[in-house]
Amino acid sequence: MRFKLGLTGSIGMGKSTTAKMFSDAGCVVWDADAAVHRLYSTGGAAVAPLGVLFPNAIKNGAVSRAELRETIAAHRSALSQIEAVVHPLVQQDRETFIENHPDAIGVFDIPLLFETGGDAAMDATVCVSVPHETQSARVLARGSMTAEDLHHILARQMPNEEKCARATYVIETDTLEHAREQVQDVLKDIEQRGKHA
């Protein structure tokens, strides 16, 4: 792969929309959540090993995320056991993606990029960001989460300010037009880096 760009940002910051903008601009995008979804689906590589550990988490030949959440809530050691199975499989999925796109600029959509140390495998990183009030309004407008739910999610993640400080680039997703301009600026900068490499 010609260049690996890690993309991160908290819930409601516009990460998925920004990933699509990179895709529209000709980049190939690998999505960590989508990789986990593939692994958990019927026939996915995580189904059998997780079925051995937590038989009740397998429903109709696939991993039930709801059951996994209940298991994690009930058993403190469950999360680390699940991660020990899933993380290497996600890593393999990513490696295969890299091998399959030798000449591309790859964008790696990884929610916990900095928390998991995934930034070490990237050539550069970008964090999407908006003010906290905008983030809250976006998340609560979805209707699937309360302010308390959002607070719990954010409490488990690195603060947005710290992510932005660690990132090579920060994209403000206040408007679609502004975000798209910044995506183009990032790609121009990457192309310039390539010329000087």
Cα separation, 58 vs 55, in Å, equals 6
Residue 186 carries which side chain, given as an amino acid letter?
A: V
13 annotated as belonging to a binding site for a ligand: yes
175 annotated as belonging to a binding site for a ligand: no
Per-position DSSP letters for 43-54, written without gaps between them: T-TTHHHHHHH-
Dihedral angle sign, alpha carbons of residues 175, 127, 191, 1: negative
pTM of this structure: 0.89
Structure tokens at 18: 């920004």
Enumerate residues 6+ apart whose C-beta is below 8 A from 163: 8, 9, 10, 114, 127, 129
Distances (CA, A) of 41 to 44, 63, 64, 164: 5, 6, 9, 33
Cα separation, 58 vs 67, in Å, equals 8
Sorted by where each starts, the structural domains of the chain and their CATH numbers stand as 1-27+105-197 (3.40.50.300), 33-103 (no CATH)
Mind listing the pLDDT tens digit for each residue in 106-165? 999 999 999 989 999 999 999 999 999 999 999 999 988 899 989 888 888 899 999 999
Tracing tokens 């920060």 back to the chain, one arrives at 170
14 annotated as belonging to a binding site for a ligand: yes
Q: Residue 197: what pLDDT? A: 64
Mind listing the pLDDT tens digit for each residue in 88-100? 999 999 999 999 9
15 annotated as belonging to a binding site for a ligand: yes
